[in-house]
Structure 1
Amino acid sequence: MDLPEAPYDLLSRMIAVSPSDLGPVNAQVRRVCADAMSLPALPSDSAASDGAAIRDFAEQFAADVSSISEAQRGAFLAATGNDAFTVTVCVFIADFVPRVSAGLAALGLPAIPEPAGWDHDVEPIDLVLNRFAPTVGAMRALDPVTTEVVRLRGAVQHACRLCKSLREGAALDAGGSESMYGDIESYETSELLDGRHKAALRFVDALIWTPSRIEPDVAAGVHEHFSASEALELTLDVMRNAANKIAVALAADAPRVAEGTERYLLGSDGQPVYA
């Protein structure tokens, strides 16, 4: 298979992440998130800490980020202090890299390479938000409407107010519409979403809610409608979109507009461009 190497390299680097002053916390959240998903945990190079505030936050992040309570968030912020953002990104890595591994395995795509060693210096925030997210955003194997349908499904599943307030312009120009997008929540009965969209959305739901048991018919639906390059991008798009969990978890997902939606473009560099 002729698949891009860059996203695989970045995923491998995420596995290697172990901030020098947060090793025990990183180990803890990797174990907690994996247990919540019934998936193998990412490796760690430290003994895990056992703080209840971080455990409860990470567990809820993995299970259903939209249900993190103010009490859980407050306790987490008190426990992590100035490291709160960095730890939240470590939770995201612990939560979503195993999901992607499960998705790749279910689709018969190459596995994430094992890293050569631990990285104690890389900044997790930069790696996830400034490198991985735009790298995946710049991929163009998928058509823009499918990409947007997948993004909006994740926005609803994670209850991200910011994501729900946005509409990608290339998808609108290619035939996306509010009528179509309104059908996403009940996509199985939609007459506006086609078989390709529905196959993608079944896979999105599996990665978000049941990553440890992606049914063969869900994988078969992806194979029926998507090439290997498209299937890889679909899998990575779910993770890129799920970076909204970081904002939702920290209550930093305020919409860009008070009413309605705002049009934006996903640039060729994978970064959003707003009017």
Structure 2
Amino acid sequence: MSDASADRLARLVTLSSGDDRADTLIRLTCGRALSLPPLPSPVDPPDGHTDAEQILTAFAEQFSVDVTGISDNQRNRFIGAYGDNAFRVVVAIFVADLLPRVWAGCAALGLGKPGWTAEAVLDRDADPVAVVLGGFVPAVARMREVDAVTTEVVRLRGAEAHNCRLCKSLREGHALDAGGSEDLYSQIADFERAEGLTDAHKAALRYVDALVWSPSRIEPEVVDGMRKHFSGKQMLEITLDVMRNAANKIAVSMGADAPRVAEGTERYEVDEQGQTIFA
């Protein structure tokens, strides 16, 4: 298990929306929605909820269950309640939603629970947006144990699950150069019957679906498929890729996932620093 990966995940546990009550509600709500143990809470659950907190818990629950179900009205009410801090709060929801999934996946695969802690020691001064989008996301993108086509297939499955219009309109250049194509990617939607996808691709896609839709019930055959086709380092990378790709839930929840092109797709590349470079 990579110490660096464990450290990055442990760092995410410390991130805060800036409000202890909100952090507690977010973490408990996401854990309940996932049927998984929540991140540790900084304070006891409040006895009563303010109007803003009721809006927050409803938003966090929908974010976890199916982000595509967040309506314009729900989004506007959330932004109205949290104003300039709304984006930071959404990133705190992302962490509370995705970290339990990562730990569930790693535990099922026999990788332990990297970065797990039972204590809530929050860093209220740190900017969670910078730590997640500027630190964690590119760090995962720099991992190279998994081949480019498999990484792209995994990304596109997550893009479809969360209906991220931007993500669905993009194609990673290294994967295209390594054999990825629109014909191959079109088979992802019905991958079980696809002839162009390999058994390893299908194993990875079953695992993606499990983390997205049923993280508390990862079936033995899903685990067996991952272990058959991937090494421990590769399984960890795919797990973290699911979380990295799910950062699109932040944009989708805020209605900020418009594609960069009106029609077709746009090529981009992930450079050696893990940054996205558009053609």
- TM-score, with length taken from structure 1: 0.96
2:21 corresponding residue in structure 1: 24
Aligned partner letter, 1:23:
D
Q: State the shift of 1:108 in Å.
A: 0.3
1:218 corresponding residue in structure 2: 222
Question: For 1:144, which of 148, 153, 161 is the aligned residue?
Answer: 148
Question: For 2:210, which of 193, 206, 211 is the aligned residue?
Answer: 206
Question: For 2:37, which of 37, 40, 46 is the aligned residue?
Answer: 40
1:7 corresponding residue in structure 2: 5
1:272 aligns with 2:273: no
Aligned partner letter, 1:248:
V
Q: State the shift of 1:48 in Å.
A: 3.9
Cα contact 2:30–2:96 (8 A) shared by 1: yes
CA–CA separation in structure 2 for the residues paired with 1:118 and 1:177: 44
Aligned partner letter, 2:194:
S
CA–CA separation in structure 2 for the residues paired with 1:261 and 1:5: 37
For 1:202, what is the secondary structure of its paired residue?
A: helix
Question: For 1:79, which of 73, 78, 81 is the aligned residue?
Answer: 81
Q: State the shift of 1:114 in Å.
A: 4.0
Q: Deviations over 1:179-201 (max 9, x none)?
A: 01001010000000010000000
CA–CA separation in structure 2 for the residues paired with 1:37 and 1:5: 27
Alignment of 1:75-154 (within 5 A): 75-114=77-116, 117-154=121-158
Alignment of 1:144-223 (within 5 A): 144-223=148-227
Aligned partner letter, 1:199:
A
* Cα pair distance change 1:232/1:114, threshold 3 Å: closer
CA–CA separation in structure 2 for the residues paired with 1:114 and 1:167: 33
* Cα pair distance change 1:48/1:80, threshold 3 Å: farther
Q: Deviations over 1:37-87 (max 9, x none)?
A: 100110011234532111111000000001101111111111111110000
CA–CA separation in structure 1 for the residues paired with 2:178 and 2:33: 38
Report sequence identity in percent: 53
CA–CA separation in structure 2 for the residues paired with 1:6 and 1:221: 26
* Unaligned ranges ≥5, structure 2: none
* Unaligned ranges ≥5, structure 1: none
Cα contact 2:8–2:115 (8 A) shared by 1: no
Aligned partner letter, 1:10:
R
Q: Deviations over 1:193-224 (max 9, x none)?
A: 01000000000000000000001110110000
For 1:185, what is the secondary structure of its paired residue?
A: coil
Cα contact 1:10–1:127 (8 A) shared by 2: no
Q: State the shift of 1:110 in Å.
A: 2.8
Aligned partner letter, 2:263:
E
Please give the root-mean-square deviation of Cα atoms over the aligned residues, in Å.
1.2
Question: For 1:247, which of 251, 258, 261 is the aligned residue?
Answer: 251
Aligned partner letter, 1:35:
R
- Alignment length (residue pairs): 272
CA–CA separation in structure 1 for the residues paired with 2:255 and 2:143: 29
Aligned partner letter, 1:18:
S
